[in-house]
Amino acid sequence: MAITREEVLHVARLARLALSSDEADRMREQLGDILAYIRQLDRLDTSGVVPTSHAVETGTPYRDDSVHPFGEKEEILKNAPDREDDFFRVPRIIED
């Protein structure tokens, strides 16, 4: 099933994946094959079948509304690639 280079680049942008030109080409081919394989599901008549949206169908469990502070701020920040005091620091958004 053919997928165009434009579609590949669009999906890559949605997924925030920078692809080299070679990668984009390879991806187009491989994705095309995989998507073609996947389309065999079209052969199945699933009208009236309820989708399995959850692996378990019981109701979602709850927690009480009580505060239990994690209390270890440094643990949350310690892996930050860049930080300023207790903030996570990132590059600004640049308008295209």
Question: Which residues within the stretch 2-41 sit at the binding site for another protein (CB under 8 A)?
Answer: 3, 7-8, 11-20, 23, 27, 30-31, 33-35, 37-38, 40-41
Q: Which of 20, 25, 22 has the alpha carbon at shortest distance from 5?
A: 25
Q: How many residues of this chain interact with another protein, rule: CB under 8 A?
A: 72
CA distance 67 to 72: 15
Report 67-86 residues binding another protein (CB under 8 A).
Answer: 67-70, 72-73, 75-82, 84-86
Report 49-68 residues binding another protein (CB under 8 A).
Answer: 49-68
